Amino acid sequence: MNAYRHFFLYAKNWYKRTDLESDLRILCNDLTGHNFNNLNDIARITFNAVKPILDIQRISTEKYLIELLDHHSRKDLMSNEYVNPLIATIRTNLYFMAHCMNFECGDLGEPNFNLLESSKVENTFFKERN
């Protein structure tokens, strides 16, 4: 089973999103058993989760950086706000997780709604498996 499964399920909208940083802290804490208060750690963990997908899809460092810059600049242009580069990195990692094929991310298991609430999105992934 994929150790980062809850990050993938979060990226694929299985969990209700409230506050990105708070939500991912909960998932990081569940994964490691440690309290994370640092965005750098969250960015590192989400990158470790997505790295095998980048390798499988043969996504170059250049394409990854282009996506990163796109996520960074899109927020800047649309809201005229400063975007923390670590938040842009995390969003980029979630983007790649959300768009990977199920066979690329491995066995995700069932969502754990004790961690985060259900998004209530109708999804047939688990129905098809049973």
pLDDT score for 130: 41
The contacts of residue 109 (CB under 8 Å, 6+ apart) are: 1, 2, 5
**Start-to-end C-alpha separation, the chain:** 17
Q: Are 49 and 4 a contacting pair, CB within 8 Å?
A: yes
pLDDT score for 120: 73
Its pTM stands at: 0.81
Q: Are 113 and 129 a contacting pair, CB within 8 Å?
A: no
- For every one of its 130 residues, what pLDDT tens digit does the chain have, with 9 covering 90 and above? 899 999 999 999 999 999 999 999 999 999 988 887 789 999 999 999 999 988 888 888 888 888 887 766 665 555 667 778 888 889 889 989 998 887 888 889 899 999 999 987 555 455 444 4
**Number of residues that this document lists for the chain:** 130
pLDDT score for 10: 95
